[in-house]
Amino acid sequence: MSSTVLYDHPGPRARIRNAVLSVAFGVGLVALLWWVYRKFAEAGQWEGRLWQPFAEPDTWTQFIIPGLRQTLLAAATGMVLSLAFGIVFAVGRLSDRWWIRVPSGVVVEFFRAVPLLLLIFFIFYGVPFLVQAPVSAFWSVVVGLTLYNGSVLAEAFRAGIRSIPRGQSEAAYAVGMRKSQVMQLILVPQAARAMLPVIVSQLVVLLKDTALGYIVAFPELLQRGVNDLSANYGNVVAAAIVVAAIYIVINSLITMLAGWLDRRTQRRGFRAAKKTTAGPAPVLEQAVTEPQG
Q: Which of 38-42, 199-203, 268-272 has the lowest mean pLDDT?
A: 268-272
- Please choose, from the candidates 201, 200, 195, the residue with its C-alpha nearest in 3D space to the C-alpha of residue 160: 195
Up-side HSE of residue 28: CA atoms within 13 Å toward CB?
6
CATH code, residues 53-267: 1.10.3720.10
Using CA atoms, how far apart are residues 149 and 154, in angstroms rounded to an integer? Answer: 8
**pLDDT class of 38 with cuts at 50, 70, 90:** very high
Residue 276 has pLDDT above 90, yes or no: no
Residue 283 has pLDDT above 50, yes or no: no
Using CA atoms, how far apart are residues 30 and 245, in angstroms rounded to an integer? Answer: 19
DSSP assignments along 147-199, one per residue: HHHHHHHHHHHHHHHHHS-HHHHHHHHHTT--HHHHIIIIIHHHHHHHTHHHH
Residue 33 has pLDDT above 90, yes or no: yes
**pLDDT tens-digit map of 121-177:** 999 999 999 999 999 999 999 999 999 999 999 999 999 999 899 898 889 989 999
Q: What are the extents of the domains in the chain?
A: 53-267
Q: Helix, strand, coil: what percent of the chain each, to 5?
A: 85, 0, 15
> pTM for the full model?
0.82
Sign of the Cα torsion 187, 192, 198, 202 reads positive
Q: Which of the 8 DSSP states describes residue 63?
A: I
Residue 3 has pLDDT above 50, yes or no: no
Residue 293 has pLDDT above 50, yes or no: no
Using CA atoms, how far apart are residues 169 and 152, in angstroms rounded to an integer? Answer: 24
Using CA atoms, how far apart are residues 192 and 199, in angstroms rounded to an integer? Answer: 8
Which DSSP helix (H) or strand (E) runs through 9?
none
**pLDDT tens-digit map of 176-213:** 999 889 988 889 888 888 888 889 889 999 999 999 99
